[in-house]
Amino acid sequence: MEERDFFTESTEMRTHTLICPKCGQAAEYKVAWVVRRKRAQAPRGADERDRARFAKAQSYMVRRDDKLSCANLRCRKPFEITTLQSLAFLSD
């Protein structure tokens, strides 16, 4: 079995306050995340090894966006998101 059989996948937009490194202004940005939530039960046809992997699996989010454009109208320069983690575990 593959890992994606253990999760339901969806895309969410979450708001974060980030600071542009070029102009230094803080603003609210919407960042896209891929959210993988653990299913309630192990998939059908899972053997003993797959059930053990399913028991250890945890819900998590992966950041989809790597770059954003500055919200300041005078700046508008693209910058990389370095202050946010690229992977975050969810507590269910």
Q: Which tens digits make up the pLDDT trace of 16-42? A: 999 999 999 999 999 999 999 999 888
Q: Determine phi and psi for 71, rounding to 5 degrees.
A: -80, -15
Buried b / exposed e along 20-58 (16+ C-beta atoms within 10 A): beeeeeeeebebebebbbeeeebeeebeeebeeebeeee
What average pLDDT does this structure show over 74-85? Answer: 92
pTM of the model: 0.82
Question: According to the model, what pLDDT value does residue 41 have?
Answer: 87
Residue 70 in tokens: 């500055």
